[in-house]
């Protein structure tokens, strides 16, 4: 069943390649209610291997660049330094790259779209504002805070005593090193955007508009933006035809099914109707796909079991064991 889904995914990617007359590199992380995952550093190795295979397929020397690559993207975000390194990797291997938003590109995925030579999507495609998050690794249960929220509080007209009290309270809750890391990530983001747009037109007004719309501390992290409403000079846009919108929609449906073959309710239905007491399947934390290199993913093996009354199956009674994530190729 999974192999059939993969072949269908490759067929849809072939349609995109025919339409854009360029190799398509798909980067997908699940963004479903029941299952989400982020773009992490592991993606870089998978993308690099796919780029090598794309060059080999098109008979391009390893030290030469592909004329154009279309990155088909669907993700709720992830690690900002990874995105900056991904942009560098794509620039080193392609004369230009364009980002096709299949349905959504939130947070760090929005940054990747902005760093591309062109953004392609439907009128309703979704992006978002973004700001590096401050996570306390010593207390993973603590809610992450956007660095823009911290900057906004510190910029308010409080007296020095109030600011000192605020900083002392902040440092009690969050390791100062984590705050420094988030601030460094924000500087890296600003530098990457500056390199992209100042080198293309030298106009600082474009940078100011990007910062105001996507990075301003007065707006919340991950505030949704509709693609058709983004109007910034030098941010080149292209809207999809209805036919290509349908292709993207089909692709997302296939990817979601492949990433999470048994959502929670389907697990309940399975154990309610099947004589089996166990079920094995795989979860995929990301897919990196091309016609030339087929599919690479970060996979976790899953074994779910149920030993109770088949007439009264509930989700809390189903036991689920997951393997350590590992890289998988098909």
Specify if 178 maps to a domain. Answer: yes
Q: Can you tell me the distance from the alpha carbon of 54 to that of 48, in angstroms, rounded to the nearest whole number? A: 10
Asked if 62 and 119 sit in the same domain, the reply is yes
* Per-residue pLDDT at 141: 67
Residue with token string 């109770």: 308
- Mention every residue, 6+ apart, whose C-beta is less than 8 A from residue 64: 55
* Per-residue pLDDT at 221: 67
- Mention every residue, 6+ apart, whose C-beta is less than 8 A from residue 199: none
The mean pLDDT values, 10 residues at a time, for the chain of 330 residues are 85 97 97 91 96 96 96 95 96 98 96 97 93 69 73 73 78 79 86 85 78 77 87 91 95 95 92 93 96 94 92 91 93
The domain total for the chain is: 2
Asked if 78 and 195 sit in the same domain, the reply is no
Q: Can you tell me the distance from the alpha carbon of 127 to that of 77, in angstroms, rounded to the nearest whole number? A: 10
Specify if 320 maps to a domain. Answer: no
Q: Can you tell me the distance from the alpha carbon of 288 to that of 295, in angstroms, rounded to the nearest whole number? A: 6
Asked if 83 and 117 sit in the same domain, the reply is yes
**What are the angstrom distances between the C-alpha of 189 and each of 12, 237, 239, 304?**
33, 21, 26, 41
Q: Can you tell me the distance from the alpha carbon of 125 to that of 163, in angstroms, rounded to the nearest whole number? A: 40
N-term to C-term CA, the chain: 14
> Residue 297, CB half-sphere, CA atoms under 13 Å: how many?
21
Whether the predicted model's global pTM rises above the 0.85 cut: yes
Crossing angle of helices 176-201 and 80-93, rounded to 10°? 30
Asked if 175 and 94 sit in the same domain, the reply is no
Sign of CA dihedral 243, 245, 250, 251: positive
- Mention every residue, 6+ apart, whose C-beta is less than 8 A from residue 307: 277
Q: Are 73 and 105 in contact (CB under 8 A)?
A: yes
Specify if 300 maps to a domain. Answer: no
Residue 304: left if φ>0, alpha if ψ -120 to 50, beta else—which one? beta
Asked if 175 and 124 sit in the same domain, the reply is no
Asked if 48 and 150 sit in the same domain, the reply is no
* Of 106, 76, 102, residue with least CA distance to 246: 102
Asked if 7 and 123 sit in the same domain, the reply is yes
Residue 236's φ and ψ, nearest 5 degrees, are: -80, 130
Asked if 145 and 22 sit in the same domain, the reply is no
Specify if 313 maps to a domain. Answer: no
Asked if 99 and 196 sit in the same domain, the reply is no
* Per-residue pLDDT at 1: 60
* Of 30, 49, 36, 24, residue with least CA distance to 327: 49
Q: Are 109 and 86 in contact (CB under 8 A)?
A: no
Query: What single string gives the DSSP state of each residue in 3-33?
Result: HHHHHHHHHHHHHHHHHHTS-EEEEE--B-S
Asked if 107 and 250 sit in the same domain, the reply is yes
Q: Are 213 and 230 in contact (CB under 8 A)?
A: yes
Specify if 314 maps to a domain. Answer: no
CATH code of the domain covering residue 236? 3.90.226
Q: Can you tell me the distance from the alpha carbon of 264 to that of 279, in angstroms, rounded to the nearest whole number? A: 13
Residue 137's φ and ψ, nearest 5 degrees, are: -70, -20
* Per-residue pLDDT at 185: 85
Q: For residue 181, what are the domain limits? A: 133-201+209-219
Q: In 80-229, which residue ranges form alpha helices assigned H by DSSP?
A: 80-93, 108-115, 147-155, 160-173, 176-201, 204-210
Q: Are 245 and 286 in contact (CB under 8 A)?
A: no
Specify if 328 maps to a domain. Answer: no
Asked if 14 and 76 sit in the same domain, the reply is yes
Given the DSSP bridges, would you call strands 294-305 and 319-322 parallel, antiparallel or unpaired?
antiparallel
Asked if 148 and 47 sit in the same domain, the reply is no
Specify if 99 maps to a domain. Answer: yes
Specify if 329 maps to a domain. Answer: no
* Per-residue pLDDT at 139: 64
């Amino acid at each position: 069943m999974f192999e059939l889904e993969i072949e269908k995914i490759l067929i849809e990617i072939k349609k995109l390649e025919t339409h854009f007359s360029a190799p398509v590199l798909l980067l997908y992380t699940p963004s479903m209610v029941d299952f989400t995952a982020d773009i992490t550093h592991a993606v870089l190795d998978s993308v690099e291997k796919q780029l090598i295979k794309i060059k080999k397929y098109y008979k391009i020397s390893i030290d030469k660049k592909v004329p154009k690559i279309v990155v088909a993207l669907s993700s709720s975000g992830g690690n900002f330094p990874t995105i900056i390194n991904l942009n560098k990797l794509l620039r080193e291997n392609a004369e230009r790259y364009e980002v096709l938003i299949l349905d959504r590109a939130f947070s760090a995925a929005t940054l990747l779209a902005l760093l591309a030579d062109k953004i392609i999507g439907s009128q309703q495609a979704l992006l978002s504002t973004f700001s590096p998050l401050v996570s306390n690794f010593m207390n993973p249960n603590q809610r992450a805070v956007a660095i823009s929220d911290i900057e906004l509080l510190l910029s308010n007209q409080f007296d020095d005593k109030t600011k000192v009290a605020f900083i002392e309270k902040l440092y009690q809750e969050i390791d100062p090193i984590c705050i420094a890391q988030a601030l460094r990530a924000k500087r890296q983001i600003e530098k990457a955007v500056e390199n992209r747009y100042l080198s293309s037109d030298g106009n600082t007004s474009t940078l100011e508009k990007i910062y105001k719309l996507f990075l301003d501390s007065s707006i919340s992290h991950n505030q949704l933006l509709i693609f058709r409403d983004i109007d910034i000079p030098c941010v080149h846009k292209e809207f999809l035809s209805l036919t290509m919108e349908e292709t993207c929609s089909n692709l997302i449906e296939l990817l979601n099914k492949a990433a999470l073959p048994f959502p929670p309710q389907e697990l309940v239905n399975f154990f309610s109707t099947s004589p089996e007491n166990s079920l094995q399947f795989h979860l995929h934390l990301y897919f990196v796909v091309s016609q030339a290199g087929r599919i690479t993913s970060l996979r976790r093996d899953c074994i779910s079991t149920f030993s109770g009354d088949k007439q009264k199956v509930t989700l809390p009674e189903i036991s689920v064991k997951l393997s350590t994530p590992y890289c998988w190729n098909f």
